[in-house]
Amino acid sequence: MTVQIDTLPALRLLLAEQRRQGKSIGLVPTMGNLHAGHVSLVTCAKAQCDFVITSIFVNPLQFGPNEDYARYPRTLPADKTVLETADCDAVFTPAVAELYPAGLEQQTRISVPHLSTLYCGKSRPGHFDGVCTIVCKLFNMSQPDVAFFGLKDFQQFFLISRMVADLQLPLSLVGMPTIREASGLAMSSRNGFLNADQREQATAIFATLQHIARLIRNGERDFPQLERLALGQLAAAGLRPDYFHVVDRTSLLPAHSQSLELVLLTAAYAGSTRLIDNVTVEAPVHG
């Protein structure tokens, strides 16, 4: 049985009881419209923790004024069924007023400097401050031993890791691999916005990432040239690329000539739907 709670006092009571029983607590923060990617996080959490709570909260603080907050899919009844099936112990479904009682304007914010302004942060100013703030609040409210995130949101996971380190928060993080459709398209709650043509176009995102990764593995090191090639491939597929960057995944800064551990980060629009994806790649050591 998945217990549903929607207030902070009820959450504290429930989790205090679990802690009193000596149970470890795993937290899976989500915005709902759950798919197999989310389920993989819950399954991993169940394997590692005694009590697993999934939060479902479409966080207004991380959406820009012209973004899709209002039409973001909200499918709570179906989500509850998914969580029951995944044997999730509890689901936290707070209202906006429960988490932002003083309103959004007055909310104290958590901001990871500089890295929050790159890549997705450049196209979505303030987005990662909204993400870090809500995740920090959820950590404070539930005080989990372990929190589970998807590496599909690579920059997000990097920034949350940095926040946890900088604020010396007493929990550990787990980053899980991206779950994909058979076509290679990364599962996302926003895929539901795509029509058949756009869904087809969107397969070019992972294909392009894989192509560029292959070139790097084969020794190609002209990263600006590879980025231009990738943008061209995305556009040729009918997408509107936002960015494609070869990034040093140890620092999240743009890769330089000595970078070996890389991640390719990209975002592209299919119609008006913005999709993100990434792949990690090891550059060969030159002899």
Pair 279, 213: CB distance under 8 Å: yes
Considering beta carbons, is residue 153 or 227 the nearer one to ligand AMP?
Answer: 153
| Chosen residue from 2, 14, 27, 37 binding ligand AMP by CB under 6 A | 37
Residue 41 interacting with ligand AMP (CB under 6 A): yes
Touching ligand AMP, residues 137-156 (CB under 6 A): 149-150, 152-153
Q: Which amino acid, residue 120?
A: C
CB closer to ligand AMP, 2 vs 189: 189
Work out whether 188 is an interface residue with ligand AMP (CB under 6 A).
yes
Out of 53, 61, 187, 234, point to the residue binding ligand AMP (CB under 6 A).
Answer: 187
The reply to whether 31 sits near ligand AMP by the rule CB under 6 A is yes
- Tell which one of 176, 264, 265, 279 touches ligand AMP (CB under 6 A): 176
**Tokens representing 43?**
């399954």
Name the one range near ligand AMP by CB under 6 A: 3-11, 31-39, 135-143, 210-218: 31-39
For ligand AMP, the closer CB: 127 or 245: 127
> Which residue bears the tokens 């600006």?
224
Closest CB to ligand AMP among residues 130, 241 = 130
Nearest to 155 by CA among 242, 230, 247: 247
C-alpha distances in Å from residue 249, one per residue of 4, 58, 135, 267: 37, 28, 22, 17
Q: Which of residues 222-281 bind ligand AMP (CB under 6 A)?
A: none
Identity of the residue, 10 or 31, whose beta carbon is nearer to ligand AMP in the bound complex: 31
Q: Cβ of residue 172: shortest distance to ligand AMP, in angstroms?
A: 15
Beta bridge partners of 270: 273
Quote the CA–CA distance of 227 and 270 in Å, as a whole number: 19
Query: Judged by CB under 6 A, how many residues of this single chain contact ligand AMP?
Result: 17
Catalytic positions, written as ranges: 38
Note the Cα 161 to chain centre separation in Å: 12
Q: Give the interface segment with ligand AMP, choosing from 75-83, 186-194, 202-210, 245-253 (CB under 6 A).
A: 186-194
Residues engaged in binding ligand AMP (CB under 6 A): 30-31, 37-38, 40-41, 149-150, 152-153, 176, 178-179, 186-189
